[in-house]
Amino acid sequence: MKGFFKIALRNLARHKRRAVLTGLGMVFGGFFLVFGEACANGLRTQMFNNMIALDTGHLRITAAGEEEQGASDFDRVIRSPGKRWLADPERIVEAVSGLDGVSVVSRRIESTCLFFAGPKMHEGTLTGIEPEKEADLLLEAARPVAGRPLQAGDFYGIYISEAQAERFEAAVGDSITVSAQTAGGGMNTLDFLVVGIYAKNMPWHDNRAYIHLGSAQELMLAGNSVTQIKVLLEKAETAKAFAARLRETFGGWGLTVEDWKTAGGFYAGSVIANTITFNLINLVLLIIIAAGVVNTMLTAVFERFREIGMMAAMGAKRRQICLLFLAEAALLSLCFGGLGVFFGSLVSLWLGKAGIPAFVDAARYAFGGERIYPLLTGGNILASFLVLFLATLVSSYYPARMAARLQPAAALRRK
């Protein structure tokens, strides 16, 4: 086998320009295979982390029949109507908090409402939270650009999005009036002071404001009721089994228990769509690389008819001739493909810290934030290299087999 690679290296050196041009395509392909997979991983992780932190938790407990009949997943995510109330949330919190593997159990109220600031009015989503339980999550997923996140003492404070601040021309310390439907079906209004403004995020987050759970209950005349309970687990991968366990525990309580993938709905679909897009781009890259390899190897076969015929006449077996051409393709993939994977890994690691900025709103919505941070793993590097290597060998098999099947006399007569 060592002899095959020596001859293959010599043959590649005889046609440096062609080998380098094909190799550059492999560098390009290896780079974007690694980089694309790192971006897909980063996007998937970022969107799911945001969803878990700001919306669903690892588990979401709601009153049975929470979903509006006929509403799409997108409408439910955007509006989060919170029509049904959990009348005895403390009992549920107590039952869940004592379970092994549970890290945080927090109560929430979510409802559509009207925001007023001076003469301006806009519809949006209001979320009442327990700030002492969700402060770290808000700092991570809803990063403040002015002021600070909601704290336990901000009973009449409100934490609004950067988009809302621009819409209302509001700053930290300004007053915003909120009008919402009460638990009994009427309307009530309260005034709040802006304590902080968080960075632009996905569009369904840009219309959301956070207030203290107690003030949300006061605004909606809900007593101690809430619309959902959010549960964070020590291990996210246990969410599905945990949800099944809680459904048995709460059988007959009139509750719906969903893991984060089920509760995510539209979010999860967005992530899957983005992942499919990245995979399609990688597939196109592989097809382009394979076409380049086939072209290079076919050209090598056509240029070396006499050489192939001489080898066959001297007793070289078809298998040996085939292996020689496969060895040339393997060397190209190992050297140039490996170089592309190396550079792709370096860039992914660097951008994993610096981030890729979203230059337009469409990109910001796709990223789920102002930046996307590629996430590189050893498995991504190995998988990208192996996929590129195997794609090169598979695409070079036909030219190699074609060379091996040439008859010595016919090959020697060809020019």
pLDDT per residue as tens digits for the range 237-248: 899 999 999 998
Q: Give the N- to C-terminal CA distance of the chain in Å, as an integer.
A: 30
Task: Grade residue 217 by pLDDT with cuts at 50, 70 and 90.
Answer: very high
Is 16 part of a structural domain of the chain?
yes
Same domain (yes/no): 72, 208? yes
> Residue 312 falls within a domain, yes or no?
yes
pLDDT in tens, 133-184: 987 777 777 888 999 999 989 999 999 999 899 999 999 999 999 999 998 8
**Class of residue 280 by CB neighbours under 10 A (exposed 0-12, middle 13-18, buried 19+):** exposed
| Residue 86 vs residue 73, higher pLDDT | 86
Q: Which domain holds residue 122?
A: 67-226
302 and 273 fall within a common domain: yes
pLDDT tens readout for residues 11-47: 666 667 777 777 787 888 888 889 888 888 888 888 7
Element housing 223 (H / E): none
Q: Is the pLDDT of residue 195 over 80?
A: yes
CB atoms within 10 A of CB 93: 18
Regarding whether 197 and 301 lie in a shared domain, the answer is no
- pTM comes to 0.72
138: in domain: yes
Q: How far is CA 135 from CA 141, 145, 154, in A?
A: 10, 15, 12
Lowest average pLDDT, out of 66-75, 270-279, 329-338, 381-390, goes to 66-75
Residue-averaged pLDDT of the chain: 81
**Residue 243 within a domain:** no
Region 122-126: mean pLDDT is: 92
Q: How many domains does the chain have?
A: 2
Is residue 261, in this structure, part of any structural domain at all? no
Give the residue, 402 or 276, on which the prediction is more confident. Answer: 276
